[in-house]
């Protein structure tokens, strides 16, 4: 499945978005000529696995192997699906963050959106199952408004997304705090919590399948389709070179606004799952925006936008959760945990990125004609505009 | 291709290194798998390594609170908010007013359900004292968990100059000490409650027994139920916060003494983290009890056992209704430590007493009686219809507005 995504980092020219354009033919062996044909699966796999976006799967496999070794019970019936289920919220948040990062922005309001939606659901649904659908509709509406506001501030007011979404996060937290006095009234009805807490029993082989795993699977498929759709391609293009993308006639602003809306919707879905899994607490969701960014970057997605693999972002989220669990099983002292966790993430992030960067700088040097030959078409258009 | 191969190798090396780091960290100093007594220390060895190494542990304070939590208090047990331990009294004659007095209240925060519960009770008490013509007005400033804001708040009150008395709930003892000193220098009565003020200039310090007693109570309950060598999971909210550290330091000490193995986690009171942690602990092996340093942490812990489909062991908690209800619903062996929320009310009564010329205790220690299985039903009946954030020690049963005001839970 992983190797079928063409926007993957498997292409050594590093640009996922030039599939539809005719890239200037490159002279030199190191840069493969774009032929429109896919290279063989095995070759793409070999190339993909050494990129940061592919290496995260190797890392995940090794960490999982370690986890299974330390916790043999994980192989028990329904145990592994439960594990995926508990990772679902952060994986979904990482999916949402992926779209924003792909478009060249950051969304720091995700944690605040989760907290607000959790409190909203807790207070409005209460013990009345009849309120579930209306409140869900309201939550989606809130998400769309947040996404729109984030997007408008970033695109039209031209406030850097780092600050803009930090600001909206504060506003959202403030409003949540104001309306509840800092404490939600309690857990909503169990019928609503079932989405994140229950699942389907007695499934052959798996044993138990949490609903959250189904939600995650559906969202991953949707996300992959979205990345491969014209919208996804243009979003990556906007993240790579917004000016060139604008010159093709696309509305970069609208692309980015939609990315922020996707991110807010993802936060909302995660909130619904978290209410079930964890229960209502104003603490739920805190720090998720940074965990999601870590997951996305761990998945080899360029923070500057335009490049990266959606499935690697999900794998990044799984790496973080496996790491969390691994530290539980390894018995790391509570006071040491943050340091150990941080160090491992830094190493995991840093080393492949250094290698990747070095690989990317080696390639042009080998090409006889120097840098100009390697510009993608969009890139050289932008170059002319500047000159 | 060689470059790629090299990178692949690096990735493998890196991941192996990461896994190695995890296992190494397990052996790091303070690694807690060996828990309480360490390898050599047996049961009953009170000077075991873990507790001794905890800088928050203060033997003198531990002993004081240990004595006080079971001491007999002066006054009517049906009015615990008026009870006190025998000790030095404050001569009220210097503070007597022949009119209703204006009280200025510098509050550290309203950011948790315990403070909110106390604040509601305090306001209902205020109504009574207003009707009696003792207090004319309560001017309140909320520092929202900020030392700086609280210092500014206190100085604002002082410069305003029309306060007949100050009530201060300090945010942190050391940071607010100088401002409290300035309030004392005005010559007006200063009543401190909840956390200490880092100075002893105050007229009276109102508090229930304390954080160490809180930790001793629930840890003692666990130690009395499980045997030597049992395994307890301790969920801690945050490192370096005095309230939680004192509870933990005392509990750790009790567990050490009982030869109990403890694995502690810092959770930030995030229910999803708590649930994942407990789920992992269930997979790891036997959990005989879960000790928490905050009531909010107990419910997700209980749910983790439910979801895993295993028997729920002892899970201790606090007197917040969410925990008490989960305790009742699941029929677990529960225990609720208490930090009496009615001290909010007592602080106002103390000030009223001074205005009226009634002597009050200099160190006004209120009882701190945990909720045990015997009282659970009665406590739940009293708090019927109250939201989950309500605390059983709210102490407003005899105040006007009961139970409606606490059920509605609208912040004054």
ipTM value for the complex: 0.80
H or E segment to which residue B392 belongs: none
**Mean pLDDT, residues A135-147:** 96
3-class SS string, B331-367: CCCEEEECCCCCHHHHHHHHHHHHHHCCCEECEEEEC
Q: How many CB atoms lie within 10 A of CB A51?
A: 27
CB contact under 8 A, A331 and B33: yes
Each residue of A287-312: pLDDT tens digit? 899 999 999 999 989 888 899 999 99
**Mean pLDDT, residues B121-134:** 97
In degrees and rounded to multiples of 5, residue B135 shows phi and psi of -120, 135
Give percent above pLDDT 90 in chain B. Answer: 75
Of B24-28, B337-341, B397-401, the one with minimum mean pLDDT is B24-28
The region that residue A202 occupies, defined by phi over 0 for left and psi between -120 and 50 for alpha, beta otherwise, is: left
Q: How much is the mean pLDDT over chain B?
A: 87
**Mean pLDDT, residues A44-50:** 81
Whether residue A374 is predicted with pLDDT greater than 80 in this model: the reply is no
In degrees and rounded to multiples of 5, residue B74 shows phi and psi of -75, 145
CB contact under 8 A, B389 and A186: yes
Confidence of residue A362 (pLDDT cuts 50, 70, 90): low
Q: Could you give the 3-state DSSP secondary structure of residue B243? A: helix
Nearest to B4 among A47, A73, A182 (CB): A47
The C-alpha atoms of residue B406 and residue A253 are separated, in whole angstroms, by: 49
B11, A352 contact by CB (below 8 A): yes
Each residue of B363-389: pLDDT tens digit? 999 999 999 999 999 999 999 999 888
- Residue of B267, B323, B278 lying closest to B301 (CA atoms): B278
Each residue of A230-266: pLDDT tens digit? 999 999 999 999 999 999 999 999 999 999 999 999 9
- Residue of B153, B198, B184 lying closest to B90 (CA atoms): B184
Of A34-43, A267-276, A328-337, B127-136, the one with minimum mean pLDDT is A34-43
**Mean pLDDT, residues A273-280:** 92
The reported pLDDT for the residue numbered B125 is: 97
Whether residue A27 is predicted with pLDDT greater than 70 in this model: the reply is no
Going by DSSP bridges, is the β-strand pair A207-210/A199-203 parallel, antiparallel, or unpaired? antiparallel
Of A336-350, B71-85, B98-112, the one with minimum mean pLDDT is A336-350
The reported pLDDT for the residue numbered A360 is: 64
Give percent above pLDDT 70 in chain B. Answer: 87
Whether residue B390 is predicted with pLDDT greater than 70 in this model: the reply is yes
A329, A303 contact by CB (below 8 A): no
Two tokens, residue B292 = 């928490």
Give percent above pLDDT 90 in chain A. Answer: 53
The C-alpha atoms of residue B153 and residue A216 are separated, in whole angstroms, by: 49
Pick the more confident residue, B165 or A11.
B165
- B73/chain A closest Cα distance in angstroms: 34
CB contact under 8 A, B270 and A277: no
Considering the entire predicted model, what is its pTM? 0.82
The reported pLDDT for the residue numbered A19 is: 43
Locus of tokens 């964890």: A278
Nearest chain B residue to A60, by CA: B15
Whether residue B44 is predicted with pLDDT greater than 80 in this model: the reply is no
The C-alpha atoms of residue A151 and residue A105 are separated, in whole angstroms, by: 10
Two tokens, residue B355 = 């205005």
Two tokens, residue B183 = 């309030």
Looking at beta carbons, which residues of chain B come within 8 Å of A348?
Answer: 14-15, 18
Whether residue A366 is predicted with pLDDT greater than 60 in this model: the reply is no
Nearest to A348 among B18, B28, B271 (CB): B18
Interface of B with A in 52-71 (CB under 8 A): none
A367, A30 contact by CB (below 8 A): yes
Locus of tokens 């340091």: A339
Nearest chain A residue to B388, by CA: A186
Locus of tokens 């997979």: B283
The reported pLDDT for the residue numbered B34 is: 33
The reported pLDDT for the residue numbered B388 is: 87
The reported pLDDT for the residue numbered B22 is: 44
**Mean pLDDT, residues B183-211:** 93
Task: Look at chain A and count its residues.
Answer: 387
**Mean pLDDT, residues A8-25:** 43
Whether residue B235 is predicted with pLDDT greater than 50 in this model: the reply is yes
Whether residue B19 is predicted with pLDDT greater than 50 in this model: the reply is no
Nearest chain A residue to B268, by CA: A283
Nearest chain A residue to B4, by CA: A50
The reported pLDDT for the residue numbered A1 is: 35
**Mean pLDDT, residues A192-217:** 91
**Mean pLDDT, residues A310-336:** 91
B136, B130 contact by CB (below 8 A): yes
Looking at beta carbons, which residues of chain A come within 8 Å of B11?
Answer: 50, 55, 58-59, 351-352
Q: List the alpha helices (DSSP H) in A331-376.
A: 337-366
The reported pLDDT for the residue numbered A65 is: 95
The reported pLDDT for the residue numbered A356 is: 64
Please check whether residue B39 touches A, CB under 8 A: no
CB neighbours of B345 closer than 8 A, spacing ≥ 6? B81, B118, B121, B122, B124, B125, B395, B396, B399
β-bridge mates for residue B318, sequence order: B337
3-class SS string, B38-76: CCCCCCCCCCCHHHHHCCCCCHHHHHHHHHHHCCCCECC
Of A341-350, B113-122, B355-364, the one with minimum mean pLDDT is A341-350
- Own/partner pairs for A175-180, CB < 8 Å, 24+ apart? A175/A116, A176/A112, A176/A115, A176/A116, A176/A119, A176/A120, A176/A282, A177/A282, A179/A119, A179/A123, A180/A119, A180/A123, A180/A282
- Residue of B384, B400, B395, B383 lying closest to B77 (CA atoms): B395
CA distances from A162 to A115, A169, A223, A267 (A): 19, 11, 23, 17
Nearest chain B residue to A122, by CA: B388
A100, A259 contact by CB (below 8 A): yes
CB contact under 8 A, A58 and B15: yes
The C-alpha atoms of residue B257 and residue B248 are separated, in whole angstroms, by: 14
Of B18-32, B196-210, B223-237, the one with minimum mean pLDDT is B18-32
CB neighbours of B396 closer than 8 A, spacing ≥ 6? B120, B121, B124, B125, B342, B345, B402, B405, B406
Whether residue A156 is predicted with pLDDT greater than 70 in this model: the reply is yes
The reported pLDDT for the residue numbered A216 is: 97
A96, A147 contact by CB (below 8 A): no
Pick the more confident residue, A45 or A357.
A45
Each residue of B167-196: pLDDT tens digit? 999 998 888 899 999 999 999 999 999 988
Two tokens, residue A201 = 């029993």
Two tokens, residue B205 = 């310090």
In degrees and rounded to multiples of 5, residue A264 shows phi and psi of -70, -35
Looking at beta carbons, which residues of chain A come within 8 Å of B281?
Answer: 328
Nearest to B26 among A184, A274, A330 (CB): A330
Locus of tokens 């269930």: B282
Looking at beta carbons, which residues of chain B come within 8 Å of A279?
Answer: 271, 299-300, 303
B219, B254 contact by CB (below 8 A): yes
Looking at beta carbons, which residues of chain B come within 8 Å of A329?
Answer: 280, 283-284
Nearest to A340 among B25, B110, B280 (CB): B25
Two tokens, residue A273 = 């799952």
Whether residue B213 is predicted with pLDDT greater than 50 in this model: the reply is yes
């Amino acid at each position: 499945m992983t190797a079928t995504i063409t926007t993957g980092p498997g292409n050594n020219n590093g640009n996922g978005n030039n599939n539809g354009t005719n890239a200037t033919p490159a002279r030199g062996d190191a840069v493969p000529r774009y032929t429109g044909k896919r290279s063989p699966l095995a070759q793409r796999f070999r190339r993909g696995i050494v990129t940061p976006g592919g290496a995260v799967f190797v890392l995940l496999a090794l960490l999982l192997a370690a986890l299974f070794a330390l916790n043999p019970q994980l192989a028990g019936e329904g145990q592994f699906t439960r594990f995926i289920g508990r990772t679902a919220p952060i994986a979904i948040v990482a999916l949402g963050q992926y779209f924003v990062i792909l478009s060249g922005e950051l969304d720091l309001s995700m944690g605040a959106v989760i907290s607000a939606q959790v409190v909203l659901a807790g207070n409005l649904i209460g013990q009345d199952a009849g309120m579930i659908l209306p409140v869900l509709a309201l939550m989606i509406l809130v998400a769309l408004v947040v996404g729109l506001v984030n997007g408008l501030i970033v695109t039209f007011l031209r406030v850097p997304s780092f600050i803009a979404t930090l600001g909206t996060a504060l506003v959202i937290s403030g409003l949540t705090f104001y309306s509840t006095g800092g404490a939600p009234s309690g857990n909503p009805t169990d019928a609503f919590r079932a989405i994140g807490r229950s699942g389907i029993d007695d499934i052959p082989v798996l044993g138990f399948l949490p609903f959250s795993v189904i939600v995650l699977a559906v969202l991953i498929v949707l996300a992959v389709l979205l990345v491969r759709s014209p919208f996804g391609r243009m979003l990556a293009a906007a993240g790579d070179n917004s000016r060139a993308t604008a010159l093709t006639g696309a509305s970069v602003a609208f692309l980015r606004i939609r990315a922020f809306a996707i991110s807010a919707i993802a936060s909302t879905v995660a909130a619904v799952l978290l209410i079930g899994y964890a229960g209502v607490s104003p603490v739920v969701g805190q720090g998720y925006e940074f965990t999601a960014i870590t997951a996305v970057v761990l998945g080899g997605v360029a923070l500057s936008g335009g490049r990266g693999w959606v499935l690697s972002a999900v794998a990044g989220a799984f790496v973080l959760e496996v790491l969390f669990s691994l530290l539980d099983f390894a018995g790391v002292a509570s006071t040491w945990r943050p340091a150990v966790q941080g160090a491992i993430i830094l190493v995991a992030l840093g080393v492949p990125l250094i290698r990747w960067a070095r690989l990317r700088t080696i390639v042009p040097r080998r090409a006889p004609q120097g840098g100009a030959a390697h510009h993608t078409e969009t890139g050289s258009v932008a170059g002319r505009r500047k000159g | 291709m060689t470059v790629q191969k090299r990178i692949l190798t690096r990735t493998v090396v890196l991941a192996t290194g990461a896994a190695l780091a995890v296992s190494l960290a397990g052996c790091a100093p303070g690694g807690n798998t060996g828990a309480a007594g360490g390898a050599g220390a047996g049961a009953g060895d009170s000077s075991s390594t873990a507790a001794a190494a905890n800088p928050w542990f203060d033997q003198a304070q531990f002993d004081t609170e240990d004595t006080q939590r079971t001491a007999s208090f002066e006054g009517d047990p049906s009015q615990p908010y008026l009870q006190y331990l025998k000790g030095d009294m404050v001569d009220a004659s210097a503070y007597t007013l022949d009119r209703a007095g204006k009280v200025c209240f510098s509050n550290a925060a309203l950011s948790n359900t315990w403070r909110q519960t106390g604040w509601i009770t305090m306001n209902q008490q205020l109504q009574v004292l207003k009707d009696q013509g003792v207090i004319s007005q309560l001017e309140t400033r909320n520092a929202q968990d900020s030392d700086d804001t609280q210092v500014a708040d206190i100085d604002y009150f002082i410069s305003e100059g029309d306060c007949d008395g100050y009530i201060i709930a300090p945010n942190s003892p050391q940071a607010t000490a100088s401002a409290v000193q300035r309030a004392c220098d005005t010559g007006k009565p200063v009543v401190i409650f909840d956390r200490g003020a880092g100075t002893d200039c105050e007229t009276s310090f109102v508090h229930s027994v304390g954080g160490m007693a809180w930790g001793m109570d629930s840890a003692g309950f666990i130690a009395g139920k499980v045997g030597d060598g049992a395994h307890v999971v301790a969920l801690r909210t945050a490192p370096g916060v005095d309230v939680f550290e004192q509870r933990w330091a005392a509990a750790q000490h009790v567990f050490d003494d009982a030869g109990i193995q403890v694995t502690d986690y810092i959770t930030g009171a995030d229910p999803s983290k708590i649930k994942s942690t407990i789920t992992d602990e269930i997979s790891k092996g036997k959990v005989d009890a879960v000790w928490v340093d905050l009531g909010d942490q107990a419910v997700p812990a209980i749910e983790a056992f439910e979801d895993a489909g295993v028997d729920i062991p002892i899970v201790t908690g606090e007197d917040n209704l969410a925990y008490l209800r989960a305790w009742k619903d699941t029929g677990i062996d529960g225990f609720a430590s208490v930090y009496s929320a009615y001290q909010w009310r007592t602080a106002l009564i103390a000030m009223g007493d001074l205005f009226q010329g009634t002597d009050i205790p200099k160190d006004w220690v209120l009882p701190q009686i945990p909720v045990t299985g015997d009282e659970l039903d009665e406590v739940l009946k009293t708090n019927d219809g109250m939201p989950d954030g309500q605390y059983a020690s709210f102490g407003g049963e005899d105040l006007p507005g009961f139970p409606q005001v606490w059920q509605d839970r609208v912040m004054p």
